[in-house]
Structure 1
Amino acid sequence: MHKKDTGGASRHARRNRKGGLTPARTLAIVSLFPVMTGIFPVETSAQSYRFSNVDIQGNQRVDPATIVTYAGIGPGQAVSAAELNDAYQNIAASGLFEKVELVPSGNTLVIKVTEFPTINVVAFEGNRRLNDEVLTQIVQSQSRRVYSPSTAEADAAAIADAYRESGRLAAAVSPKIIRRSDNRVDLVFEIQEGRVSEIERLSFVGNGTYSDSRLRRVLATKQAGLIRQVINRDTFVADRIEFDKQLLTDFYRSRGFIDFQVLSVTSELDRNRKGYLLTFNVREGQRYRIGNVSVSSEVPGIDMDAYLKATRLRSGGVYSPVPIDTDIARLERLAVDQSLNFIRIEPRLNRNDRNLTIDVEYVISRGPRVFVERIDIEGNTATLDKVIRRQFDTVEGDPFNPREVREGAERIRALGFFADSEVVPREGTRPDQVIVDVNVEEQPTGSLGFGLGYSTDSGVGINFSFSETNFLGRGQSLGASLGFTDSTSVFGFNFVEPAFLGRDVTFGIASYYRETEQDNSDYDTDNGLFRPSFTFPLNELARFGVRFAYDYSRIYNVDTGTEDDPDTDEDEFETGSSYVLQQEEEMGGLSSFSAGYTISYSTLDDGLDPTAGVGLFFSQDFGYREDEASYVRTEATLRARKAIWNEEVTLRAELEAGGVVFSGGDSRITERYSLSNKIRGFEANGVGPRDLNVENEDVLGGNYFAVARFEADFPLGLPEEYGLNGGVFWDIGSVWGLDETSGGPNGDDEVDDDFALRSAAGVSLFWDTAIGPLRFNFSRPLIKEDYDEEQNFEFTVSTRF
């Protein structure tokens, strides 16, 4: 309801008659009105004014001419009240002033300003999870710079975002200023970190083939558990959900579920509002297998039989995009070898829903004639351009191949040198040219470590290490370590150049010096090695390496067990270490030179079949020792891995054998094999040929060994975030063969070096911790000799393949 104002007009007339609202005062009020209200529009008079002078007041750092420029008012220029308001807005919008006031005074325009203060210090209060150093890198406000409220608010939002990324969604940040003298302020960010928003439960709806526990191991997000203080991925981060959805999709589609979809992801707080319940609603679809594999060509003169022979995809296998992409790369390389450019291989997939198979047809066609104009690299401050550029098989002037560019981008990310990398092709200076932009963000690549550990084999150990994976920005790896245990001291050094002379050849140098006090034996050894090597690929799955080595070894402090006979004044042979070792000690320190090669073939890590893989390694070394003895050392290893029961259980098998054959001399203990770390259930150097004729009963090692290891690991039904899995194992093997078997100076009581099997079985507990994967073995020998040394418990770092 509106009331009528009956006296407003007469009162307004009386004020005007008394001279209360002159035009100048009206203009002043209009110019000040935006300052007082800030947001309300003002109805201004159409009257214009001219100012012959502009008087700037209150400025300390900003030049008066700069303020006049912001105002946009020239001397003698006709100015309306609306234009005065615009001048005020322009000056205020510069972000330089805390207060702005425009006061017309006759023919002079007075502009009064109060500059924003200078930041004295930037401080943080209430932060415990993110220290000051981290927060300083996040904010833009800095000391000795002009304080800006908008910048401070943006900094507060950035700090809150950093806390949200660490799972603290309730974090609140408020910027406060404390006034100081000389127009200075202290900027303080008051932080309330809040509680961690943890994932109390991860569940799935719609999964029938794989269990919840198996799918949880796929996700980057983990549930919170009793050991949540050790786990960093038990917090709710909304941005990680998209990544988890992609991980699930890749997991299913690489196993033949081509129609798999993540329908939705729901997150809700639990009853106590302390954690989130995250549910993935999925649709698996059917598993498809490979049907017919064929090759067709739209390019005349192509030998399709040669291309079909080059494929590795076979009918009956589970469908996966990984081997198809590998086949495409192989066929494109074949085309290049045949001097065919701009060839494109397109896989055409024909579904047979009735048989649940997919026929794959590789179609050979001509692609567009597009060339790579150049590769632009930005963001690398330490890493040399050539290190990034050599990750591409494509160089400037080559035909543009999108697949090769994608593979190069993956190799750049796999280097581990960059926190982020982006590879984006764009049109070049001509339509038939492409520019490849590479933007990277570098991260630290060096580490300095100190370790204190314990192993049931070697006892308490101390280790110092240094490593740099991008030495001098050249992509080279450099490392050194120094370690001590109860029985061993070792110094190691290694260097790797992954692109020797700019080619796909890896050059490496490995060296170490080790002093040992052997367990279960009364003697010590010195051993040093210097070994340069070269390795290059034979194909995408096989590699060939050659090496040269210098080796030095010495055996000393052998317990001779001799005493002077007072009647004959001669040494009398009594109990002590084996006569075999005494003879080897008399040989003194010996150097040897060798050359060798290694051939390896492995599908364990290539992703062609994520549920299975095999690896084959064969090596030989041909050596010459300075006492004119020569030898040939041959070793072979076969590894296999298979996941069964919907990948709940992983089976592993490893067969390993080796032998060294000497001519012109005998092998020494430092050159022979032992089953240490090769067969579980026995102490280090606890099995093998042993001299039972002396009190020490020394283990002497053997020239030959063979061992088979079988194991299975499986979940224990505990929450996955605990990182605990169980396992069972069975090992069987033997070490045998000596060049010298004499048990005494007269050749009496020969040492038994016959082939004798040892076997052990046991259970394992695997624990993935923040300090690395640990393994606890509980074992019992099944086949052993009476003199073998058992080890029923072993604690070590897990090395599963």
Structure 2
Amino acid sequence: MFRNRPIPALLAGTMLAGLSAPLAAQTPAAAPTDAQPTAPTPAAPASTQPPAAATAAAPAPAAPIIISRIDVVGSQRIEPDTVRSYVKLRPGDVYTAEAGDQAIKDLFATELFADVTIREANGVVTIEVKENPVVNRIIFEGNKRLKEDKILKEIRLAPRQIFTRSKVRADVARIIELYRRQGRYGATVDPQMVMLDQNRVDIVYSIVEGGKSKVQQINIIGNEKFSDGQLRHEMATKQARLTSFFSSNTSFDPDRLAYDQQKLRQFYLTQGYADFRVVSAVAELTPDKRDFIITYVVEEGDRYKFGDVKVESDLRDFKADFAKSLIPMKKGDWYNAKQVEDTVNSLNETAGLLGYAFAEADPQFDRDPEKKVMNLTFRIAEAPRVYVERININGNTITQDKVVRREFRLQEGDAFNSFQVKRSKERIQSLGYFQEKFEIDQKPGSTPDRVILEANLEEKPTGSLSLSAGYSSLERFLVNASIEQTNFRGLGQSLSASVNYSKYAKSVELGFTEPYFLDKNIALGGSLFRRDYNSFNFINGNQRNNTYSQVQTGFGLRLGVPITEYVQFQARYGLSFDDVSLSKALYFSGGKCDPLLAGRFLCDAIGNRTTSSVGYSLVYSSLDNGIRPTRGKRLVLSQDFAGLGGSVKYLKTVLSADKYVNLGRGFVVNFSLQGGYIHSFEGTRLDASGTEVDPVRLIDRFYLGQPQMRGFDIRGIGPRVQRYAFDPTTNSLITTRKQLLADDSIGGRAYYLGHIEMQIPLGSGVRELGIRPSVFVDVGSVFGVRRPPLTSLEDFRDPADKKIKAQCRNQSTGGITFQGADGTCPEGAFAIQPFGEAFLGDTPKPRVSVGFGVNWNSPFGPFRIDIAKALLKQPGDDTQLVTFNVGTQF
């Protein structure tokens, strides 16, 4: 009956019904007694109509407030209409207190205002706002361990943004988290706001970094099968010790704590302990509140063996019998979870080779706790054969799409092949244009039998411009200026120009390579060069003395064509003009090169000649990365024939092989072996004195030493001629005083060289500095040259008295006499003191050195230092313990 009545009427009726009880109490009645209590008078029924007088006394309902206008006060940067758009109030709506409260909440939610007030008067709603200030600058104080650029990338606030307290609180928490990542758990951040004019503020984060919290001790409780040391070795976190100075993993990191628990579990699962679990892992601060002590409680459980291992396949072209041959584990072997994981990957890759991109091998375990046996079934469910629907390339802003697409071994419409996808990734990485960590993602296509391949790239700088000066143990002071762009115009072209100047070498070179000439898989390139080299020897201790100079001018053309995916054929042609000369003031007499002054082999090398050569290389490479490989191998056979015109005729053959093995945990071993031989077609060659000499000229031979073979000086290995001074008091040569020794390397016609080098991983902090250490063993030799004519003491024996005397050489005519009894030479002649020469080092016996080296991309240029000890050497070899280079690459 009251359902449709107005609310005020209901309230009035309720009030009147309440008044009926006291009215009824005034009706006369018998006096109540204790034995007979008076029953209460019942209330009037709800249907009773209230008296008219009571109805007239109810208050009139309030009239609703209709919004006629909305005004905005206090906005400066933000337009009033924008402020109105943030609230739900509109002219013509009914205004209530609840609507006003909701409008205030909506405005504060925008985080644009520091204060909001809403007033209403006669239908006019006034919104008064105070805008949040604009951030002018963000300043960090006290940060030494974290640079500003690293912090700015992590925080939310930035210049020209709107200031909000929530963002400041979030930034403070993030900065503290960054310091905790470094193990600095005592770090504090105090945000301060400096008010400026025009409603701007500077935000100052005052940072107290605190000390770095190390992991002082790692305790393990419950391990019986493996020692604490073995288990700590499996963890990423290391105890702070003197030997862990370069490691960044000695600081405490909660995320690393969880990672170490997983590493422990993985280790035990590879050893057969399928029930292993980490019961608890607790990190506690030491009493001095500086370091942490971590305690793991583990439960090893029983050790399992493999039981029955089966394969079930629903794929038509991937039968179970064939799949069973891919499974390495056998019944009775100790259970190994890593082996199971690798087998799953192997089965998935094999299915991918057959075109089943989404086929997955599901390992199903059947554990028998009583027999301690783990039965295993690999279930390969049915999946459609898949084709490539589309290839998407993302992230290449400079590099053109075709540069990346031509490295793909799959094309749109081809049957999917996981091996070809992996190979495509390796080829793209080998370009050197993109960051190393990228993947080719596989996404479902428009139908179940279609797949979309997506390469998400991140480009890195491919150009370099450098102007540097440095000091080298080989070159002394040097200057280098170079410009190189390996991705010229985003087309993958290589363009380079360089100028090098040092005391003993000067060169200028221009080069260009087009890897896909006319959009065909043909590489075409060329270079122009002019090089000025000076050979030298050492006299009077460390005094370096030029022996001959070679000026070479020429050009080269090269062509590369792939034969198969892994084999490439390269052809080249080169034309060069050489001018080899000696100082006439030092080494000439009578207008000719004097063998007693320069050495017979140097006199034979001087002159002009033209070399016109054609050559080829067969290259096999399966390296996963052509720039910094971690696995794979590379074989190269090269031959160059000089004699296609020109004045020099020879055939030079070089064979090299490299193999990289990834040992895991960042350890990479490189096995390298190379060798070469040069054969001359010029026949017998005679020097100026008519003596037969080696047909291969001095500057065409092979040389070996530092930097190819560390532990030895430059050209410190192989055939050489040493000149010894004469001691008249003993009437013999002085062979023990190195400062009186002249030593010239003359090279050989054959050589071999081998390396075993292992890269040693360091902590992430050291890697960020660009430091890459390695240990190595070098083995090699160069040999096979014809014995050159030598000068002996007999050449200084005076036929008159049979005594060893200095020769007197006439400067203008070259005539020879001997010193007189007074020890003087005739006018116009100079004295050549007696000496004797020895031919050493021409042997294939190996030279061996061991050592370690460090590459460092330092702020002032690349730096390389090697410390190597020669274990095996031959008479005449020059050793060197420490070699370094600053300002240029070796």
TM-score (normalised: structure 2) = 0.63
The one-letter code sitting in structure 2 at the alignment partner of 1:83 is A
Partner of 1:737: 785
The one-letter code sitting in structure 1 at the alignment partner of 2:713 is E
Residues 17-60 of structure 1 deviation map (CA, whole Å, 9 limit, x = unaligned): xxxxxxxxxxxxxxxxxxxxxxxxxxxx9984334344433233
Question: Which of 547, 561, 569 pairs up with 1:522?
Answer: 547
Residues 141-164 of structure 1 deviation map (CA, whole Å, 9 limit, x = unaligned): 444444333344444444445545
Question: Which of 790, 794, 800 pairs up with 2:882?
Answer: 794
Partner of 1:102: 118
Query: CA 1:388–1:248 in structure 2 vs 1: closer, same or farther (change >3 Å)?
Result: farther
Partner of 2:164: 148
Query: CA 1:134–1:704 in structure 2 vs 1: closer, same or farther (change >3 Å)?
Result: same
Q: Does the 8 Å contact 1:295/1:308 carry over to 2?
A: no
Question: Which of 647, 650, 654 pairs up with 1:631?
Answer: 650
Partner of 2:714: 684
Q: Distance in 2 between matches of 1:126 and 1:358?
A: 58
Partner of 1:550: 574
Partner of 2:680: 662
Q: Distance in 1 between matches of 2:272 and 2:486?
A: 38
Question: Which of 822, 845, 851 pairs up with 1:764?
Answer: 851
Q: CA deviation at 1:659?
A: 0.5
The one-letter code sitting in structure 2 at the alignment partner of 1:660 is I
Query: CA 1:440–1:287 in structure 2 vs 1: closer, same or farther (change >3 Å)?
Result: farther
SS in 1 for 2:194: strand
Query: CA 1:670–1:68 in structure 2 vs 1: closer, same or farther (change >3 Å)?
Result: same
Query: CA 1:506–1:164 in structure 2 vs 1: closer, same or farther (change >3 Å)?
Result: farther
Q: Does 1:114 align with 2:201?
A: no
Partner of 2:598: 577
Q: Distance in 2 between matches of 1:487 and 1:293?
A: 70
Question: Which of 868, 873, 876 pairs up with 1:777?
Answer: 868
Q: Does the 8 Å contact 2:717/2:781 carry over to 1?
A: no
Q: Distance in 1 between matches of 2:571 and 2:310?
A: 41
Q: Distance in 2 between matches of 1:653 and 1:488?
A: 31
Q: Does the 8 Å contact 1:658/1:704 carry over to 2?
A: yes
Partner of 2:14: none
Q: Does the 8 Å contact 2:72/2:126 carry over to 1?
A: yes
Residues 585-612 of structure 1 deviation map (CA, whole Å, 9 limit, x = unaligned): 12x1523322211344668989xx99x9
Q: Distance in 2 between matches of 1:446 and 1:210?
A: 52
User: For 1:223-262, what aligned pairs fall within 5 Å after superposition?
Assistant: 235-239=251-255
Q: Which has the larger displacement, 99-108 or 478-487?
A: 478-487
Residues 501-546 of structure 1 deviation map (CA, whole Å, 9 limit, x = unaligned): 667776666776543322437112234664535264745xx53341
Partner of 1:672: 701
Q: Which has the larger displacement, 498-507 or 482-491?
A: 498-507
Q: Distance in 1 between matches of 2:604 and 2:425?
A: 59
Partner of 2:808: none
Q: Does the 8 Å contact 1:623/1:631 carry over to 2?
A: yes
Query: Which of 1 and 2 has greater Rg?
Result: 2
Q: Does the 8 Å contact 1:259/1:285 carry over to 2?
A: yes
Partner of 1:29: none
Q: Which has the larger displacement, 342-351 or 105-114?
A: 342-351
Q: CA deviation at 1:660?
A: 0.7
Q: Does the 8 Å contact 1:256/1:288 carry over to 2?
A: no
Residues 751-789 of structure 1 deviation map (CA, whole Å, 9 limit, x = unaligned): 96995245545552455767567431123555x23xx14
Q: Distance in 2 between matches of 1:523 and 1:154?
A: 70
Q: CA deviation at 1:671?
A: 1.3
Query: CA 1:614–1:593 in structure 2 vs 1: closer, same or farther (change >3 Å)?
Result: closer
Query: CA 1:550–1:295 in structure 2 vs 1: closer, same or farther (change >3 Å)?
Result: farther
Q: CA deviation at 1:98?
A: 1.6
Ranges in structure 2 where 5+ consecutive residues have no aligned partner: 1-60, 538-545, 684-694, 726-741, 796-835
The one-letter code sitting in structure 2 at the alignment partner of 1:544 is Q
Question: Which of 613, 618, 624 pairs up with 2:637?
Answer: 618
Q: Distance in 2 between matches of 1:112 and 1:515?
A: 81
Q: Distance in 2 between matches of 1:308 and 1:631?
A: 56
The one-letter code sitting in structure 2 at the alignment partner of 1:756 is T
Q: Does the 8 Å contact 2:718/2:781 carry over to 1?
A: no
User: For 1:585-600, what aligned pairs fall within 5 Å after superposition?
Assistant: 585-586=606-607, 588-600=608-620
Q: CA deviation at 1:668?
A: 2.2
SS in 2 for 1:522: strand
Query: CA 1:224–1:618 in structure 2 vs 1: closer, same or farther (change >3 Å)?
Result: farther
Q: Distance in 1 between matches of 2:501 and 2:96?
A: 86
SS in 1 for 2:108: helix
Residues 645-676 of structure 1 deviation map (CA, whole Å, 9 limit, x = unaligned): x9999998655431111213643222101222
TM-score (normalised: structure 1) = 0.69
Q: Does the 8 Å contact 2:611/2:648 carry over to 1?
A: no
Query: CA 1:694–1:563 in structure 2 vs 1: closer, same or farther (change >3 Å)?
Result: farther
The one-letter code sitting in structure 1 at the alignment partner of 2:705 is S
Q: Does 1:186 align with 2:202?
A: yes
Q: Distance in 1 between matches of 2:498 and 2:272?
A: 47
Q: Calculate the aligned-residue CA RMSD, in Å.
A: 6.0
Q: Does 1:85 align with 2:104?
A: no
Residues 34-93 of structure 1 deviation map (CA, whole Å, 9 limit, x = unaligned): xxxxxxxxxxx9984334344433233333344344343334433332222222222333
Residues 540-593 of structure 1 deviation map (CA, whole Å, 9 limit, x = unaligned): xx533413142536353425666656xxxx76945122333323212x152332
Q: Distance in 1 between matches of 2:505 and 2:865?
A: 22
Q: Distance in 2 between matches of 1:281 and 1:475?
A: 56
Query: CA 1:94–1:726 in structure 2 vs 1: closer, same or farther (change >3 Å)?
Result: closer
Q: Distance in 2 between matches of 1:436 and 1:641?
A: 29
Q: Does the 8 Å contact 1:257/1:284 carry over to 2?
A: no
Residues 450-472 of structure 1 deviation map (CA, whole Å, 9 limit, x = unaligned): 66666555555555555555544
Partner of 1:534: 560
Q: Does the 8 Å contact 1:208/1:284 carry over to 2?
A: no
Partner of 2:732: none
Q: Distance in 2 between matches of 1:781 and 1:328?
A: 50
The one-letter code sitting in structure 1 at the alignment partner of 2:745 is V
Partner of 1:11: none
Q: Which has the larger displacement, 422-431 or 403-412?
A: 403-412
Query: CA 1:751–1:238 in structure 2 vs 1: closer, same or farther (change >3 Å)?
Result: same
Query: CA 1:429–1:226 in structure 2 vs 1: closer, same or farther (change >3 Å)?
Result: same
Q: Distance in 2 between matches of 1:584 and 1:366?
A: 75
Q: Does the 8 Å contact 2:865/2:882 carry over to 1?
A: no
Q: Does the 8 Å contact 1:160/1:171 carry over to 2?
A: yes
Query: CA 1:211–1:83 in structure 2 vs 1: closer, same or farther (change >3 Å)?
Result: closer
Q: CA deviation at 1:613?
A: 8.0
Q: Which has the larger displacement, 651-660 or 405-414?
A: 405-414
Q: Does the 8 Å contact 2:391/2:454 carry over to 1?
A: yes
Q: Distance in 2 between matches of 1:781 and 1:270?
A: 53
Q: CA deviation at 1:125?
A: 3.0
The one-letter code sitting in structure 1 at the alignment partner of 2:560 is F
Query: CA 1:235–1:602 in structure 2 vs 1: closer, same or farther (change >3 Å)?
Result: same
- Matched residues, number: 720
Q: Distance in 1 between matches of 2:374 and 2:677?
A: 48
SS in 1 for 2:783: strand
